Amino acid sequence: MARPLGSLVLVVGPSGVGKDTLIAGARHALGNDKRFVFVRRIVTRPTDAEVEDHDSMDPETFRELDAAGRFALSWDAHNLRYALPLSLDTDLALGKTVVANVSRHVVAEALDRYPSCAVVLITAEISCRAERLIKRGRESGDQITARLARESAPVPSGITPIIIDNSGLLAIGVTAFVMALRTIAAQE
């Protein structure tokens, strides 16, 4: 009997809510659970493991690979290009729960391409987000203020995301995220 397709978990939320931190915590907590795969994004920005877990690629190579259909999904955000590797298709075919940090701009396309999707929306109080963005050190004060003032793209209509408030202690956020992932995996 063929194995059922796995689920793609799209982790979304505005900058500074702690998406990468929660994903790293869940990766550690679920490290021995072979049902889960945490996919690394490809970004046209230099790698900084302390700030964002991703693989870097120069813009020209990214364009070439994207045009050749070598990514599962790709999108633009914050003057950068982002993609998820094709390996996620193999993991889904093997029945895995694949967790990926994506932009809300690509959710509708992902849902069209991967019907077995779940969306986890990470939120945090604006004061927490501001503190985290300042600590990250990638933007000036004016850029951070503008980022916080920008309205985030909505999750497409008809989607009911799992919402996790990551304003408090990291352990609470990671626990909530891990519980959500286990619930999604149990529904496969």
- Binding-site residue positions for ATP: 13-20
Task: Please state, in angstroms and rounded to a whole number, the distance separating the CA atoms of residues 130 and 17.
Answer: 9
177 contacts 164 by C-beta, under 8 angstroms: yes
Output the known binding site. Answer: 13-20
178 contacts 26 by C-beta, under 8 angstroms: yes
| Closest by CA position to 98, among listed 25, 162, 7, 3 | 7
| Closest by CA position to 39, among listed 50, 23, 19 | 23
| Closest by CA position to 149, among listed 123, 130, 122, 124 | 130
